[in-house]
Structures are given as C-alpha cells and as structure tokens.
Amino acid sequence: MTDEREGSAVGKYPVTRAVDRELDVFGLTDRGHVREENQDHFLLCSLHKSMRVHGTSLPTSADLESLGHRLAFLAIVADGVGGSAAGEAASRAAIETIATYVTTTMRCYYTADPQESEEFLTALRGVAFEAHRAVVDRGVAEPDLQGMATTLTLAIGVWPSLFLLQVGDSRAYLLRNGELRQLTRDQTVAQDLVDRGVMRPSAAYRSPLAHVLSSAIGGQTEPQVDRIALEGTDVVLLCSDGLTKHVADDAIRGRLVTMTSSRQVCQDLVADALAGGGSDNITVVVVRQRS
C-alpha cells in the first residue's frame, strides 16, 4: 500500500474586488491508514474572467485553467461514496463539472453586488444540480460506477461575502477572534434525528447513523446555501469527515489559533487525524488573508 499525499500552496498575487491584501491558501489530502484508495478531491482557484487553479488533487487540473482579472476565490471539498473506483469517480466528476459550470455559466460574480445575495445563492443551487446530473449520468454510462455519490462543500468568496453550498457531511468552519464556528450542517440521518428531537446530540456522535448521508450529490440531493459576512482576520477551513472523525472542534480551533501559515496548519491537522486513527481519507483546505 503506497502513501498518497498531495498538497498545493498559493504564493503572492494581487487581490481585486477585495481588501488590499494577499491570500494564504493551502489544500492537503491523504489516503489515511485504512482505505486502499483516496476518494476525496479538493479544488482551490481564483475566479478571473475564467479561473486560475492554485491547488487541486485532480490529475487534469491543467485542462481547467485559464486566466483573467481576479474577481473571487473558490474552494471545494468532495468526499466520494461507494466502492473505491466509484467514490473517486463521483468526487472527481462533481468538482470537474463545477469548474466548468463556474467558468461558463455562473457569471454573476463578474458584475453582481455581493450585498445582493439571492443571485449568488440561486446560482449555487444550480451548481449542485449540475454536479448531481453529471454524477448520475456517469453512473448510467458506466455500470461499474452505478450508485456512486459524493459530498460537496463549496465556498466562494466575493469580498466582503462568503457564499456556501453544502451537500453531505464535509464541513466548513470559520475562525473569528479566536472562536471556531461550524458554518455547515451535517446532512446525515443522525443529525436529522437530532433536529427532530428523536436523538440526543451526544448519542448522535457515537451512532453509526452519523455517517449515513441523508443528502448527497448522486443520491437524494438537497443543497443548502448560505451567505456569511467576512472580516479581515477570518480563517475559513473546509474538510472531509476524515478529519472530524478523529480531531475534535476544540483541537481544530487550537491549531487554527496558533497557525503560522495555511500550509503548516493543513499539515498539522492531517497529522492529527492520522495520529487519531486515520480510518478514512482526510482532506483539509484553509483560506485566510495575509496580515
């Protein structure tokens, strides 16, 4: 069994339609100790007249890239569900579809006022259904992949707003003034039972239903979208559940509070998850503004 570790960092580049600072961004994915293959994928890119890829686990990233004036930033984490080939294919298909959709169809970030969020939120719902259609069609075309699905957590930053799309249980967090906040809701059967008052949160955490998705790209898809007002010192983290299975929120907060760079904190968090058991694929993406 070989060790798969892939990372990518962003150097200095000018920020437009945002505060006059630079971004510190990094993404890292690891197979973990148990899984034979890595079914996770991530994508980090700035959105120009098209898109500039700064980091991804996708092998075809060169085909996604085209340059222009930077207007926004995009981060995605997808955690595939199914057999080894099916899960990897689902997460890859979802991200590749979104990359194409954002650059060819979702043009609202060019001219729209980010304070008027409804156009962005409507476009994000469209992103989810485009990815869903692509995953389902791939499964129909290739019987070995039938039934494949993936989580999808997407953040698009158009200063001073962060727009979120959530399907599944990969998470987005925000660190602000030393406090960590989970921005997304886990779309799992256990969380649904908690929300209905049937299960206590403490029991849900230990329940096998905590890892049964109630919404997924390729399955029953119920995209959740939201808008968050950003502040200059915010840190945004996206991750698959391979991190949160083994690293508690307090430990994640501790790493983010003391971070020296996005690269360093991603490496530390992946190492923490591996030390905690590494029972699943682990993906961590961190975005912040340089001070």
In a domain, 198, yes or no: no
Please check the confidence at residue 17 and state whether its pLDDT lies above 60: no
In this prediction the pTM is 0.86
In a domain, 167, yes or no: yes
The DSSP bridge partners found for residue 117 are none
| CA–CA–CA angle 95, 262, 157 (5° rounding) | 50
Please check the confidence at residue 117 and state whether its pLDDT lies above 80: no
160 prior amide bond cis, ω within 30: yes
pLDDT band at 106 (very low <50, low <70, confident <90, very high): low
Supply the pLDDT for residue 113: 55
**Mean pLDDT score across all residues of the chain:** 85
Residue showing tokens 């099916």: 86
In a domain, 196, yes or no: no
Please check the confidence at residue 166 and state whether its pLDDT lies above 90: yes
Supply the pLDDT for residue 234: 96
In a domain, 199, yes or no: no
Supply the pLDDT for residue 70: 57
In a domain, 257, yes or no: yes
pLDDT band at 40 (very low <50, low <70, confident <90, very high): very high
pLDDT digits (tens, 9 = 90+) for 45-61: 887 665 567 777 877 65
What is the DSSP code string of the chain?
----EEEEE-------SS-S--EEEEEEEE--SS-SS--EEEEEEEESSSEEEEEES-TTGGGG-B-----EEEEEEEEEESSHHHHHHHHHHHHHHHHHHHHHT--HHHH--TTS-HHHHHHHHHHHHHHHHHHHHHHHH-GGGTT-EE-EEEEEEETTEEEEEEESS-EEEEEETTEEEE-S---BHHHHHHHTTSS-HHHHHHSGGGGSBSS-BTSS---EEEEEE--TT-EEEEE-HHHHTTS-HHHHHHHHHT-S-HHHHHHHHHHHHHHTT--S-EEEEEEEE--
Supply the pLDDT for residue 119: 78
In a domain, 189, yes or no: no
In a domain, 202, yes or no: no
Supply the pLDDT for residue 49: 60
CATH of the domain at 27: 3.60.40.10
| Domain region containing 234 | 5-183+216-289
pLDDT band at 158 (very low <50, low <70, confident <90, very high): confident
Number of domains present in the structure of the chain? 1
In a domain, 195, yes or no: no
